Structure 1
Amino acid sequence: MSSVTVHDAIRLALPVSTQIVAGHAGLHRPVSWPVVARGLAPLFTELHGNEFALVSVPALRDIDPPISLPMLIERLISVPISALAIVGHIDGQSIAIAEQANLPLLHLANDVDIRVVDRELQRLISDYDAQVDRRAAQIALELGEQSLAGGGFPAMLALLASRTGRAVAIFSVKGEMLAFHGSSEIKSTLLHIGLTPGTQRVGGIDTWCLPLTAAGHGIGFIVLAGPSLTDADKATVKRAAMALAMELTKTQALSAVEERYRGNFLEQLLAGNLTDPLVLQQRAREIGVDLRKPHVALVFSLPSDQQSQLQSQFVNAIPQLGSTIPWLNHALGVLCFVPADVANSSEKQIVQLVLHDVQAYFPTVRATYGRVALSPSDWVRSQTEAELTQKLLRTHTQPVLGYAEIGVYQLLLPLVNNTDAMVFYHQHLGALLDYEREQHGELLQTLEAFFDCNGNLARTAEAIHVHRNTLLYRLSRISQICHVDLDNTETRLSLWLAIKLHRLVGNRPTDSL
């Protein structure tokens, strides 16, 4: 027979509606056995100490002679009993007496049958494990009913937290917190938990983690957190796991449908298939997108071997924002449109929050964004700008780049596959590129630095770490190889544009635009 405390009795035998009105300090007192007040004097025939007394206030008035509740409490304190549960009104004097003696004083609802409570307490004390299992099964049944009623995780976790007195969290298999019920302090702590099944102490808080499975596959985790977790807590969570796993499966399936619907909306809009303004607005409202707000196209990319991970887990990177941001898988990675929540915001300000969340989830992700689209008719333009900027990002060291920041490349990017542009590129830079491949020289780097330094010889020599005379010799060789006069303004402009094109087609990283 396990040692049962008042706290155990409240959680595992008493009705959920039970209220503790006094004596919190005595909740860890041991309970020997329940005793029910009789309808005649003496109310209790034999008391040996540590009993859990059950009393109906109306019955106190029916005995001869009548006894007041404060007087009864004082007598029971002298025994002493472990706790007193009352059906009926509890006056302030009774509460004060119980509080002073640290006697747990519990209020039971008027419709509670004391005989049922007595039976549940006897079961708990006689066979603790069996009672734990019965109560856990009851909670699991209630959780299933909550799920069927459409309460979802908010209602289910609130129920589980109220039954256990612990904070409860649901995590995805990737570690994202999907739902939580408890204090904000515990929530902040659990955001850093390692999801290893079993018991661990995190930030001074005891936690217990259990995998959630469906069809033999892990789909997430449930974490219970609070002081001094008990076997009863764990048994309850184990029983609840099936109902929670079913809810998680349902939630994930619904989320997948919503994602497909959201992506379909975006595909239709960008393809120009949603021409009716009323239909467009209705479809947007259905997925939570406010087309009245300006939007900015944002393209995220990762190396090809990680791109599928980016596409499958992108929604997990923006859990707080996903319902307002339409997105879809894209040839370059993921394309999304971010709404401007503040009027007159710049592109960088609009995308900042989404960038922060996605970069925190995918540290190596790279992103480009277009200019603000004031209406849906401008979304394709913003998308095109973000896509074009991705071409430049591939040869650039910055992880994030906006179309408005790339200067002359706004003109050059659309010309990458243009025949005339490539003829121009090879006409002005071809001979120098051939020389560099044969000699493995540094003339192209020198010419780039020369233009980056606006033709200033001292700054150019310092930038490439050579003597001024060496720089002059290299510039002379460039003039000879390319058959150009570097003092001619038109020649400089042509070579500068050719070098800009080289940065797009030459696949060589650079630190500056």
Structure 2
Amino acid sequence: MPPQLTVSGGIDELLDLLASGAPADAFEDFLDDARRFGVTGATTTDMKAAVWRAMRVHTQIQRGRVREAGLTALVDAARDLALPYDSVGGLLHAIARRARHLLSMDMAYITIVDQEHGCVQVRAADGHTSGLSVGLRLPADDGITTVGPVTTAPFATHDLLADDQIALNPAFEEMVRVEGLHAMIAVPLSCGDHSTGRVPRGRLYVASRKVHHFTADERSLVGSLGILAAIYLETTHLRLAADARAAELEARLAQVSRTAERFREDCDLQASLVDMLVSDGDLRTLVATAADSFGGRVTLYTAVGDVLVTAGDGQDDGDDAAALATAVEMLTQDPAAAGGGRWVAPLCAAKDYVGALVLSAPGDLSPAARKRLRLYAQMASLFIRRDKLTSGHDGEVRDRLLDDALSDERRVPRLLTERARRIGLDLSRPYLMVVARPDGSIQSRANAWGSAYARRKGGLRSCRNGHLILLLPGSDAGPVARDVAAAMAADLGKPVSTGAAGPLTGAESVQRGYREAIRCLDAVTALGVEGGAGSARELGFVGALVSADHDVAGFIEAALGPVLGYDRERFTDLVPTLQAYFDAGGSPTYAAERLHVHTNTVTRRLDRIKELLGPDWQKPAQALEIQLALRLLRVRETLTAQPEALAVGT
């Protein structure tokens, strides 16, 4: 400044200093010059006051510039944080970096509450740190406790270790010493109102390794950054959750699309197979289509294990016995693995096992492929059924006749007789009822076998309550029952017990013959003869004793029926004669004395009994049954007459 500066010149120079943004030292130099050289028209005190005013203006201008720079940095931080981050961790690292640069501090880190473990975890850090690394777990209070009421408001300290208003966790205090931290400011990452007591999800810490007194502007900047960070954290959480939900929905949509495509393919396959069925396609075409679909070899077997048709490439070692054994044991039509790269699906028509489809293909079958294999098996069953209907060999109509006869005893016999006549069966001729009880594991095969057997013999077949029922032409029940048991054991590989009744005539005898055959089967089973066969004539009174229902009336009728009927129709005394004859030890003379008739009369009655019961009625086996029937008949008569006798006695 030149000597003897005027007041106006001094003011102009001060304004120039303010306009040029001169540092505070320039104003102090100006004041020193004014003291040394003086100012024309003003005292030193006046000039000093002017300089101090200029310095205050300079301070305000500088503060405004600092605030402007801080706001600019805050806006830049907002732009940076608004970017779409791929993860919350990336956003947290960006927040820590921006916070450190915003205050020009040494380090910054962010802790997030870990509710599961009851602590907080360092999720992001920026600056040179050695102890406060990402993943570090700190106490629930972050290791810093402020004296006074607990609050979520921001706090700041110029020196962590020297501030009496702050208590440090011992472990955290040691870390502070290792890091050499002094000044620290912290803000909650929460966009909620602190007065509501809402616990922040985390905190942002900015620290310096020097003692630093945070200004109000610095507190305001870092607080604003905390609010922005909380908002961006929330929006990032929502966006990532929405993205995850969208990805999940896209995956589900893709799955639904794949399912719909498979469903469409299944529908197309079903339509093509139905077209093949109704357009007189044959089994060979069906099997060839299946073999091409699976890229293997497909073979169809009958119920007895004979090959119907085979097609395709693959192993053909002829060893499908294990697969067929698996098929006959299966309770559902779902395909099953049979070992050796084979898959088997049973062919079933209603309750009957009609065969099996065996696929030989490399690798495993997916659930969708198993469904396709089951569809091919079902269509093969329909092809076989169609071919049987076309060739006139299907036994469904015949079997339904026996089902109806057994299910409703009140059905008019004349109608059943007429229906039987229409399918070529004359129920007025002698027939037999044979009942078998196959094991559950071969039930389906036994039903299929029974259909074929009944057709060969010109009879009928039905299935009820686990029993295989056969109505067969014939007059001798015993040999037929044994033939059925032997044939089933040979074809099915397991012994099967049978019971038979007959000969029977007329549709009205079907129910009675079925019950009698069941009694014989129960008797054979009770006697423990596995695979045995018997009829009412062979079992005799043993059947009445050991069968399940103990049909005494049926046994008496079987042993004495013709004699009882003769006495009822002609009012004769053949039954009393039989009783007297056996009571007399087989002597006609003593029997005549008991009856008070002539010996010739007894002889003539015995001849009539021989005509009714057959020539063997006096042989030990039949005589024993006749005597047992007479004894049972006598007991029944005694029990019937007992109430009258008691009434007379009273």
Question: What TM-score do you get using the length of structure 2 for normalisation?
Answer: 0.30
Q: Which has the higher helix share?
A: 2
Greater RCO, 1 or 2 (C-alpha within 8 Å, sep 6+): 1
Greater Rg over alpha carbons, structure: 2
| Alignment TM-score, normalising by the size of structure 1 | 0.36
